[in-house]
Amino acid sequence: MTLPRILVVSLGGTITMTTSAAGGITPTLTAEHLVASVPQLSSVASLEALTRFSLPGASLSIQNLTEVATLLKDRFAAGFDGAVVVQGTDTIEDTAFVLDLLTDGTHPVVVTGAMRGPQAAGADGPANILAAVTAAADRRLAGLGVVVVLNDEIHSARWVQKSHTGLTSAFTSPGTGCIGMVSEGRVELMMTPQRDIAPVKEALQHDSRVALVSLGLDEDGRLLPVLAELGYSGAVVEGMGAGHVPAGAAEAVARLATEMPVVLCTRVRAGRVFTKTYGFPGSEMDLIAKGAIPCGHLSAGKARLLLTLLLRSGASTDDIRQAFQPRGIAPATVSPKD
Ligand code: ASP
């Protein structure tokens, strides 16, 4: 039987980290080391192991991910059946989403990592790599978008969040749950995620930056007026509840929306930003009428990345509004004044 050809590309992360002379664990292991530590892989797939970066998750950039997306496209064109990206868990919820936006979904792409380093008791890296390769080798994952596999759970990049700093069960998809499992060496799919955000097709050309400002209790939004001066070309305002900020911050949001696209999100981990329920100053209806773009179900972090990619690809304000309007949600009845 011919085994599927799977690329395992390592970007670094805890899964590659060993104790350094200076103290603490730092990235040292290569993709070859990771693959060699899991002998069972040889009966699942024919692998190429490649080390692209050796960085902690927090130091990866959109430029790094653009290079990874190009690498994946090239390998798929050369006949690979799927790919596993191994990296730090700190940014998996971000990088998987960016890769989802930068790839066309024709082949399974699985992102994994580990919560415990390879020298720790109960290291989860080998099990995660085995499960990730098993998922990447399953053709049924093609077309479902990039997925994240840890702790034998399969999560859609669109929904997944890191929800604990230390547990091996850190990855959850608040509001939806995982889409499947890897169990007894096989992929078990429970649901198909709606791919409601279009991939970003245009090349990323600009170095646009998007600020993420959280407005909690008693905030007045005084950071907002300096964002343009600091060189930001877009902003995500993370409000409370269904997309609410204090009344005293509403005018600052309105002024900002005349200067740059402002996307309205919530700090609540599940459920979407409303569009037509609350009418008080600082409510979602007030902010949308003042020009803010509701983010749907996206977390503020993922909304920042989507807006960044759109701005870098030269999207117009209309394109941006469209991109944040998921297909599953009827359009808002409140229209912006401008
Ligand atoms: N704690 C992180 C990890 O699990 C560190 C990182 O993101 O590089 O990999």
Interval 33-39 mean pLDDT = 98
Pick from 276, 300, 297, 296: nearest CA to 288: 276
> Got the DSSP string for 199-241?
---SPP-----EEEEE--TT---TTGGGTTTTT-SEEEEEEBT
Q: Does 201 map to a domain? A: no
The answer, yes or no, to whether any atom of ligand 1 lies below 6 A from the CB of 14, is yes
Percent of the chain scored above 70 by pLDDT? 96
> Are 177 and 240 in a shared domain?
no
Please identify, among 189, 223, 250, the residue that sits at the C-terminal boundary of a domain. Answer: 189
Residue 220 sits in the same domain as residue 285? yes
pLDDT, tens digit, 9 for 90 and up, residues 303-322: 999 999 999 999 999 999 99
Query: Edge-to-edge, what's the strand order for the sheet holding 234-239?
Result: 210-214, 234-239, 262-266, 293-294
Q: Residue 126 pLDDT > 60, yes or no?
A: yes
Please give the residue range of the domain that contains residue 124.
5-189
Domain assignment of residue 200, yes or no: no
- Mutate-to-test residue for ligand 1 from 89, 164, 167, highest number of ligand atoms within 8 A of CB: 89
| Mean pLDDT, rounded, for 55-82 | 97
Q: Is 88 in the pocket of ligand 1 (CB under 6 A)?
A: yes
**Residues 144 and 235 both lie in one domain:** no
Is 14 one of the annotated active-site residues of the chain? yes
Structure tokens at 96: 């998987």
Residue nearest to ligand 1 atom 9, measured at CA: 88
Same domain, 121 and 229: no
Look up the CATH number of the domain holding residue 219: 3.40.50.40
Residues 160 and 66 in one domain: yes
Residue 93: what pLDDT?
98
Q: Does residue 35 belong to any structural domain of this protein?
A: yes
Task: Quote the number of domains for the chain.
Answer: 2
Residue 47 has pLDDT above 50, yes or no: yes
Q: Are residues 181 and 243 in the same domain?
A: no
Give the domain CATH number at 56.
3.40.50.1170
Residue pair 31/49 in contact by the 8 Å Cβ criterion: yes
Write down the pLDDT at residue 202: 82
CA distance 290 to 287: 5
For residue 138 and ligand 1, the question of a CB distance below 6 A is answered with no
For the Cβ of 115 lying below 6 angstroms from any atom of ligand 1, the answer is: yes
pLDDT tens, residue by residue, 152-162: 999 999 999 99
The 3-state DSSP composition of the chain as helix, strand, coil percent (nearest 5) reads 30, 20, 50
The predicted-structure confidence for 275-291, as pLDDT tens digits, reads as follows: 999 999 999 999 999 99
Q: What's the predicted TM-score (pTM) here?
A: 0.95
310 lies in the same domain as 215: yes
Q: Are residues 60 and 171 in the same domain?
A: yes
57 CA distance to ligand 1 middle (Å): 5
